[in-house]
Structure 1
Amino acid sequence: MAVIGAGPGGIAAGVKLTKAGVADFVILERADEVGGSWHENHYPGLEVDIPSIAYQYSFARNSRWSRLFAPGAEVKRYHIEVARRFGLYPHIRFNTTVVSEEWDEANHRWNLHLAGGGVLTARFVVSAVGAFISPRQDPGIPGLAEYRGKIQRPSEWDDDYDLTGKRVGIIGTGASSVQITPSIAARVDSLSVFQRTPVWCIPKPNPKIPDAVQALLRTPGLQAAVHGAVLVAVDGVLRTLSNAPLGLVRPTMRTLDAAAILGYRGLLRLMVEDPETRAALTPNYGPIAKRPTANTGYLLSFNRDNVELVTSPIECFTAQGIRTADGRERVFDMIVLATGYHVFSDPETYTPGMVVGRDGLDLGKYFAEHGLQMYESVALPSLPNRWTLVGPYSWSGSGWHAFVEMTADHAVRAIGEARRRGATFVAVRQDAHDAFHRRIYEHGAAIRWYLAELNAHVPTYYRNSQGDSTYIRPTGFFQARRGHRRFPFSDYEFAGPPLISAARQGS
């Protein structure tokens, strides 16, 4: 069998397979090391945006995090250590990119077409490509090829480039920009931050974790208890939203958004000196309509004489820099394209021909025509023997590790049952898939209203181009975990080798 990707999801799948006694698997990784985004990204200021103890596997808890919010290099080392500890490296093929997947009905297997022309066959496939599939190489602004200065991307940062005394522009105000901006502001001659939409950014104290606290974190069960308490609170919010009547949700969310915006204005008055800059940094949308960020230095950066916030829309790149709609051209030695990723919840991420299943079902075309949907976020009836660890409606309010663990549990449990039965074909039943999708869609009504109506004016990957909120699982973490670990095997169809199945049908 094959696992695609050696990021957090691929590592979880590899460990779960190993624990289940499955030794015949390969992990295909396009990069030259494990870790996924934590290997590819190493830009200035990179760190986790949730507490470190919530950003780890339950089977590999780490008591040695150096800070409350661990730096990126430390998170990368953690993934490497976990992969080594559980013996995954012999299973990994690095520098191997899967460009397409094609189901072979006659042989009950997948043909994985690799960059360079090779084909690898696998009985079962687990897609662990993650939530942020690939960086957006084209920011959608004319003239990028004309620019003659240095281009930096968060996922391809050139650490050897000396920023000292340089004139720098950064496009975007998302999570990476919020970290990069304060990290380089004191080193550069000037820094222009180009903002399309103001971001919610709250202060984030990040103290070192003392040795005594690290020792306390080694207490058996303590980290799990603390993390579990947080999950209970988040789970309660999601379940309340998913079950509350819209007649109550609408006025409540309007009131909460207005109160939050008012409170944020007060925070900006404390942190940003210039009134015009404060006004430009004030969101006109709710705090959970777009991914909120946390960084103490981001807002304070705009008090520096060498940092400016630019809100005039970008017209085009020029040979020397960027021209905005007000006619002004700014000259830059370096431009940072912090313009985001192709995300798992966008139908455009799944291009036609990428995954072709049973009876010619093309995943890209299917999602475009029918919307994003999968049974328990992991399986489609026409994609036999295949599970996706980060699929539609999969994020349930936890850190990434917690939910890729439970989706990996789902895949490994189904594979284990197939092996027990001697089955070479496993596919979720259409009726089970449809019932799950109806239920999850109904529960998502409040979130959909919040993102697609109340906050429809704000661009956000929480709402995709079809107006749906397929990023979020509205029923919460614990129901999702039960669904993945206890789904009835009757929701799946199991069949033996093709020739044996055909002989039985003819007898």
Structure 2
Amino acid sequence: MQIETTVVLIGAGFSGIMLGAQLVKAGVRDFKILETASGFGGTWYWNRYPGASCVSLYCYLPLLEDTGYMPEMKYSSGTEILKYCERMGEHFGLYERAIFETGAKEFRWDETSHVWCGTTDRGDTITTKFLVSCGGSPFNHPQLPAIEGIAHFKGREFHTSRWDYDFTGGDPRGNDFNLHKLENKVVGIVGTGATAIQIIPHLGKHSKHLYVFQRTPSAVDVRNNVPTDPAWWKEVTAQKGWQYEQDEEYNRFLATITSPAPPDKSAKKKQLLVDDGFIISVREMFDTMEKNSKDGQLSLGKRREIADFRLMERLRHRVEDIVEDKKTAEMLKPWYDLFCKRPQYSDYFLQTFNRPNVTLVDTAVSKGIERITEKGIVVSGLEYPLDVIVWSTGFSTTALGLEPKFNYKVLGRSGLTVKQKCDANGGYATFLGLVTSDFPNYFMFGHAQAAVSVNFPSVYTVEARWIGYVIAEALSMGCKTVECTRETEEAWTEEILRASRINTEYLMSCTPGTFNAEGDIEKFTKLKRSQNYGGGLLKYRDIVDAYIKEGELNGFHISM
């Protein structure tokens, strides 16, 4: 098939949907969405593991004011989120523009025609004026650990993001997590991070025996998920712009805990619609810091340290109160600062270790899993025979920010990828993390040199608004090309480095994980140019809003 269009969006997850909605609102109708999957959803299309759920509250689902949708629960399930993605696709007329089960293979800039020429994995050829990589989520590239013998296991195995319901039983479309086919299976799950904490209660309930292989325990607090009250929802969403306002308050409140300034006392008193676990944790730290402020001898940093310790001590006591076996409880206690790792919230995870068919295997003694055999997993010289291995080992990303990583090639001028171009010019460089020189009419969602938030859709909302504005403005002006200048991207990179809030010494004192590149100081240092914008999401949003208000395409070289 030969396709000619004005804009191609690669990816139909949140960022692709939100940009599609933005283009429709701006009057840009001629665009296509390429998607490898057979429907909308992105991360939530692939991650259908048992118990999948978001960790932020009502600001997680974007465009609620547009769709008029009321979430079913305080925390939306993966099933609901996937259905909501489909609802957004229908609401904005995106299905008629989507080309599913079709992955981009390569797009190359044609200097003569001033278009992007692409191919797909189904043999299609595409020409488009504008190209957008909408693979902003860091949860699209499953990661397996480099463990000796990982290819030798003879039983069944799969990554959590590619859950095998045919093997385990259950049906995610109906929120059916009755994994009855595991009742005679010995299961091993590797990892105790955010995903595993949601899965383990289901595996523990249905497996003959479950071995949980843990490297570092998570800090787990109460979740308290409840249905949404329709009367309450109607009241809090009555005012136009409520989601924008709540999203702002949410991100402002969370930002204050890492700000070099003392915490805003008025912020902690606000009753947020999105009063989730993160907010509750931060509010608890605020309370402790405020009490300690009466001691004039304590610095702000020391007060934060004390507040963090007391919160973590409460979470360690929570483990003791819930987990009956004292040895298991000790292994589940998190001994690090709260924000060394992403805090977790569950009402069922710790309780699962009271089941007689669940065993926690702490790999810390042997510094991780030693090796995989044909029969199972070896830790500290002991082999654990398994029928199934579930890899809950995350994704290829770091919390610092990551250069774009796609399953296709985008080749700009001189036939170079973004990474190759940046490497040849002294390192990663963009404007706002969304455009880069030598790549005319090309945009990319992501977090490298852009903002980051606990709530990822908050970031995509801002990015979609800016990309949509630039495309619509360029079309209205009749531009052949818009291309970020070298001066613009270098100025923004200097701002990234100037505004950096990365505390290398602190992060390297944390246990290895995504926040510190697994403790690899050399790798951590190399990522500095591609780190997140240190000014925070709200300041980043202010920069974007000011840019749009100016009504110009400043920072671009424009050809007419």
Q: TM-score, normalised by structure 2?
A: 0.80
Displacement, 1:461?
4.5
- Structure 1, 144-153 or 334-343: larger mean CA deviation: 144-153
One-letter code of the match for 1:364? K
CA 1:213/1:490 → structure 2, altered by over 3 Å: closer, same or farther?
Answer: closer
Name the CA distance, whole Å, in 2 between partners of 1:310 and 1:62: 46
Residue correspondence of structure 1 range 440-459 to structure 2 within 5 A: 440-451=496-507, 453-455=508-510, 457-459=511-513
Name the CA distance, whole Å, in 2 between partners of 1:446 and 1:279: 31
Match of 2:283 in 1: none
- Structure 1, 78-87 or 467-476: larger mean CA deviation: 467-476
Matched, 1:26 2:26: no
Pairing partner for 1:486 from 546, 553, 557: 546
- Structure 1, 45-54 or 85-94: larger mean CA deviation: 45-54
Kindly indicate whether the alpha-carbon contact (under 8 Å) linking 1:181 and 1:298 is maintained by their aligned counterparts in 2: yes
Give the match's secondary structure for 2:86: helix
Residue correspondence of structure 1 range 122-161 to structure 2 within 5 A: 122-132=128-138, 134-136=140-142, 138-161=144-167
Name the CA distance, whole Å, in 2 between partners of 1:349 and 1:429: 19
Matched, 1:210 2:225: no
Name the CA distance, whole Å, in 1 between partners of 2:71 and 2:538: 26
CA 1:415/1:199 → structure 2, altered by over 3 Å: closer, same or farther?
Answer: same
Kindly indicate whether the alpha-carbon contact (under 8 Å) linking 2:18 and 2:464 is maintained by their aligned counterparts in 1: yes
Name the CA distance, whole Å, in 2 between partners of 1:236 and 1:175: 24
- Structure 1, 116-125 or 422-431: larger mean CA deviation: 116-125
Displacement, 1:93?
0.6
CA 1:346/1:394 → structure 2, altered by over 3 Å: closer, same or farther?
Answer: closer
- Structure 1, 143-152 or 73-82: larger mean CA deviation: 143-152
Displacement, 1:66?
1.5
Residue correspondence of structure 1 range 68-467 to structure 2 within 5 A: 68-132=74-138, 134-136=140-142, 138-161=144-167, 162-221=181-240, 222-237=242-257, 239-240=259-260, 254-312=305-363, 313-324=368-379, 326-343=380-397, 350=405, 354-366=409-421, 370-397=426-453, 399-451=455-507, 453-455=508-510, 457-461=511-515, 463=517, 465-467=523-525
Per-residue CA deviations over 1:158-188 (Å, capped at 9, x if unaligned) read 2232222321100111211110001221211
Kindly indicate whether the alpha-carbon contact (under 8 Å) linking 1:238 and 1:475 is maintained by their aligned counterparts in 2: no
Per-residue CA deviations over 1:260-308 (Å, capped at 9, x if unaligned) read 4333322222222333323322333322222222112112222222111
Give the match's secondary structure for 2:48: coil
Name the CA distance, whole Å, in 2 between partners of 1:57 and 1:236: 26
CA 1:495/1:228 → structure 2, altered by over 3 Å: closer, same or farther?
Answer: closer
Per-residue CA deviations over 1:105-163 (Å, capped at 9, x if unaligned) read 22222223322444322211111112225333543223333222221322211223222
Match of 2:296 in 1: none
The number of aligned residues is: 491
Per-residue CA deviations over 1:74-98 (Å, capped at 9, x if unaligned) read 1111110011011001111111112
One-letter code of the match for 2:393? T
Displacement, 1:69?
0.6
Kindly indicate whether the alpha-carbon contact (under 8 Å) linking 1:241 and 1:474 is maintained by their aligned counterparts in 2: no
Kindly indicate whether the alpha-carbon contact (under 8 Å) linking 1:63 and 1:218 is maintained by their aligned counterparts in 2: no
Displacement, 1:408?
1.1
CA 1:72/1:120 → structure 2, altered by over 3 Å: closer, same or farther?
Answer: same
Kindly indicate whether the alpha-carbon contact (under 8 Å) linking 1:357 and 1:363 is maintained by their aligned counterparts in 2: yes
The unaligned stretches of length 5 or more in structure 2 are 1-6, 168-180, 264-298
Give the match's secondary structure for 1:491: coil
- Structure 1, 434-443 or 112-121: larger mean CA deviation: 112-121
Matched, 1:49 2:55: yes
Displacement, 1:51?
1.0
Name the CA distance, whole Å, in 2 between partners of 1:270 and 1:334: 31
CA 1:61/1:22 → structure 2, altered by over 3 Å: closer, same or farther?
Answer: closer
Q: TM-score, normalised by structure 1?
A: 0.88
Name the CA distance, whole Å, in 2 between partners of 1:367 and 1:351: 16
One-letter code of the match for 1:332? L
Per-residue CA deviations over 1:419-456 (Å, capped at 9, x if unaligned) read 222111111222222222212222223445532x343x
Give the match's secondary structure for 2:543: helix
Kindly indicate whether the alpha-carbon contact (under 8 Å) linking 2:403 and 2:448 is maintained by their aligned counterparts in 1: no
Name the CA distance, whole Å, in 2 between partners of 1:346 and 1:142: 29
The two structures, once aligned, show a CA RMSD in angstroms of 2.9
The unaligned stretches of length 5 or more in structure 1 are 498-507
- Structure 1, 463-472 or 190-199: larger mean CA deviation: 463-472
Give the match's secondary structure for 1:146: coil
Name the CA distance, whole Å, in 2 between partners of 1:359 and 1:352: 20
Kindly indicate whether the alpha-carbon contact (under 8 Å) linking 1:103 and 1:357 is maintained by their aligned counterparts in 2: yes
CA 1:398/1:266 → structure 2, altered by over 3 Å: closer, same or farther?
Answer: closer
Name the CA distance, whole Å, in 2 between partners of 1:255 and 1:209: 35
Per-residue CA deviations over 1:351-378 (Å, capped at 9, x if unaligned) read 8983322244432335567554421121
